[in-house]
Structure 1
């Protein structure tokens, strides 16, 4: 095939059948839509080009202007390349860059990166005090010079998949829609656009949306709380919404790589794991000659996530296994039963009480900590804290500890882990720093 431009190679990705000996489903044919084979490496190539094309057409001839997106991942990568092709700059704005390889690759692509001192991983339009929200609002003001693709709200994000990904799946299945479509939910563009097309073909198509476990992190996937902050998300799109942990995502990723030869990243691993888990019950209920078809999306490639895997499954990369399980493996309900949780008023009394004063550990990112934190607290980012725990007890057992995260979900799991490890007095701040702030308790700047 010969193209005049690399953008002509976007789309028309393969649909590959997963061998039944791998997934074990007897009555369901499972297919992977290999979006990782788009030219820039991910499913985000499609909406990036679809959203950017109208903006770039007018700006390219002038050679001036900057494309901007609130993204720290695959959308940013695709937009950086598209902007560069058209002689323009690209700026990635995010609250936090959590995958080092992605940040380094963006810099290699010529992107400017601005990390804001925000409280959450993605845009929350209801939080008017969050710097990322304020930046997003400023992009809509008159006189703004940025070329903003606005992936969280732009209907072209959905249209890219309604006009491309969905019809391709139908065509590759000889004009039929699958019985099941499985997608991880980030901006909700791919799941929404594909679901529209498949249900136009067959209204009985069932859609499984996968989100990250509430206190876990999987690149490119939102938690159930975060997806409700996304403008394109509509719960009616999904028949089922289930959560996946980072460990399950890595399990799925390793299966796709080692058993299927698919160099999937953790998002594709999460999609595979979630699909097989959901379909096992469906498969058990099918009988006779009845068969169904399911399709899941492999969003991107493995190479950008080696540090992510190393932090969570070091033995896979030849390093010794961790002595302590990661915090994401702690069941939230059991953590709340076993951990000590203190309300804001009780925590303030505790901090103002007799010695020894509790050590307050703030688990948020450094920018959020610098913006506002509890006076006297120390900042240990959650990923680093996880590493410390895997090496053993990081604190003296003689000093009490108060853990604080954004809303109190992750800190309660860490508190449960520390208690299991033998710390006699570790507590989690109910509601986290947000709850502390909303209660009117004092916060200080660095």
Structure 2
């Protein structure tokens, strides 16, 4: 008999799928989507959740019977919760009010406690989900604050698992890697691996308006006051996480909230690939910079999470109508 001993063993080995329609007939290059929704938690975050927990166990930061505490938009929390169930840990997750109700409901469904903080506050504000996460970790007995933003096991997970899978699946022939940029783990971890294999591979981070990542990459300067509120979920930052190594990223492309939503919906309807907000942003980014590609290029674009997280927002016609985005 062939079976897995637990759900955690199914993390990884996600498919690479050709994009056929949504980018348009005149798109010059071969585009292959690394569809991370087949992970058990339906997102790429399962990979780093497992790595961060295992590394914390090894060095004693996470002790038996402990409580895992993290600021998360939902996907990291889901990954952490699935691993925690197998290992006997409790979970407390802190998120912000921008995140979809579905994400919070899913976390509660797997036994996590969820605390929602306001979105329109600075990261240093005591009410922010960054600050609340740190405070809870300090106050909770036997608590461990994951800190996915600065925990380098995040990017190491992608260096060790995601990127080698892509390299093998493409037989080392990819010319571009495109991924949404949030904590920096995926784009930096994969980017580092690919640059070590072939320095000519271009690494592109997908950013959103309101985020400061593109500005930091282009100027080397950090101006936290340049950040402003945006609707897109899963990409962009108003801080610079330690997981970033900007030297392995060749370019950041910004996409509007509207275009990300529209392309996510198109991806579902035209390709049958039901993914999240940032997947739409990635598709839109490719269209915006299509003149940079040739017929010989092989582009791998990573699709982070599942569309079920967004049925109350971008996949809801009433919500889209309220935003003025439904043509």
Q: Do they fold alike, i.e. is TM over 0.5? A: yes
Highest RCO, 1 vs 2 (Cα 8 Å, sep ≥ 6): 2
Structure 1 CA distance for aligned equivalents of residues 265 and 201 of structure 2: 28
Per the alignment, residue 212 of structure 1 pairs with: 208
| 1:299 aligns to 2:308 (yes or no) | no
Relative to structure 1, the CA distance from residue 108 to residue 235 in structure 2 (aligned partners, 3 Å threshold; closer, same or farther) is same
Gaps of 5+ in 2: 211-228
Number of residue pairs matched by the alignment? 306
Q: 1:25 deviation in Å? A: 4.2
Q: Which residue in the other structure is 1:203 paired with? A: 199
User: Does residue 165 of structure 1 match 2:175?
Assistant: no
The CA RMSD over aligned residues, in Å, is 2.9
- Structure 1 residue 80: Cα displacement: 1.6
Q: Deviation string for 1:175-224 (max 9, x for gaps)?
A: 33x2111111111100000001111111011121111222431111125x
Relative to structure 1, the CA distance from residue 98 to residue 202 in structure 2 (aligned partners, 3 Å threshold; closer, same or farther) is same
Residue 83 of structure 1: SS of its match in structure 2? helix
- Residue 255 of structure 1 deviates from its aligned partner by 2.4
Range with greater deviation from structure 2 (83-92 or 152-161)? 83-92
2:217 is matched with which residue?
Answer: none
For 1:20 and 1:219, locate their aligned partners in 2 and report how far apart those are by CA, in whole Å.
Answer: 24
Taking structure 1 as the reference length, the TM-score comes to 0.62
Distance 2:278 2:267 in 1: 11
Say if 1:179 and 1:86 are closer, same or farther in 2 by CA, change over 3 A.
same
| Aligned counterparts of 1:61 and 1:130: Cα–Cα separation in 2 | 28
Partner SS, residue 174 of structure 1: coil
**Are residues 1:174 and 2:171 paired?**
yes
| Whole-angstrom distance in 2 between the partners of 1:273 and 1:17 | 16
Any idea what the Cα deviations from partners look like across 1:314-338, whole Å, max 9, x if unmatched?
Answer: 387xxxx45x736xx9xxxxxxxxx
Distance in structure 2 (CA, Å) of the matches to 1:88 and 1:13: 27
2:29, 2:298 within 8 Å by CA — same for their partners in 1? yes
Structure 1 unaligned spans of 5+: 330-446
Out of 144, 149, 152, the position equivalent to 1:152 is: 149
The structure having more radius of gyration, on CA atoms, is: 1
TM-score by length of 2: 0.83
Aligned to 2:8: 7
Instruction: Indicate how the Cα distance of structure 1 residues 133 and 310 shifts in structure 2: closer, same or farther if over 3 A, else same.
Output: closer
Secondary structure in 2 aligned to 1:307?
Answer: coil
Provide the C-alpha distance between the structure 2 equivalents of 1:82 and 1:149, rounded to a whole number of angstroms: 13
Residue in structure 2 matched with residue 236 of structure 1 by the alignment:
247
Output the CA distance in 2 between the equivalents of 1:217 and 1:128.
Answer: 20
Offset of 1:147 from its aligned partner? 2.2
Aligned to 1:44: 45
**1:15, CA displacement in angstroms?**
0.8
Structure 2 CA distance, aligned partners of 1:61 and 1:183? 33
Are the aligned partners of 1:68 and 1:147 in contact in 2 as well (CA < 8 Å)? Answer: yes
- Checking the alignment, whether the CA contact within 8 Å between 1:118 and 1:130 is kept in structure 2 is no
Q: Give 1:183's aligned residue.
A: 179
CA contact (8 A) 1:22 1:259 kept: no
Question: C-alpha displacement at 1:81, in angstroms?
Answer: 1.9
Query: How far apart, CA to CA, are the structure 2 residues paired with 1:48 and 1:37?
Result: 15
Q: Report if the CA contact (8 A) 2:6-2:86 is conserved.
A: no
Distance 2:260 2:130 in 1: 29
Residues 136-179 of structure 1 show CA distances to partners (whole Å, capped at 9, x for unaligned) of: 55578699621222201111100100001111111011133x21
Give the distance between the partners of 1:136 and 1:21, measured in 2 at CA: 39
CA gap of 1:212–1:60, structure 2 versus 1, over 3 A, is closer
**Which residue pairs with 2:318 in the alignment?**
314
Question: Which whole-Å CA distance do the structure 1 matches of 2:181 and 2:130 have between them?
Answer: 20
Deviations 1:245-269 (A, max 9, x none): 2221122212221221211111111
Task: Say if 1:99 and 1:308, in contact at 8 Å, map to a contact too.
Answer: yes
1:6-405 superposed matches below 5 A: 6-19=7-20, 22-25=23-26, 27-55=28-56, 62=64, 64-96=65-97, 98-116=99-117, 119-120=120-121, 124=123, 127=124, 129=126, 131-138=128-135, 145-176=142-173, 178-214=174-210, 215-223=229-237, 226=238, 228-278=239-289, 280-283=290-293, 286=294, 291-309=296-314, 313-314=317-318, 321-322=321-322, 325=324
1:275-320 CA deviation, whole Å, 9 max, x = no partner?
A: 2321x2124xx4xxx6111111111111121111256x4387xxxx
Segment of structure 1 superposing worse, 47-56 or 102-111: 47-56
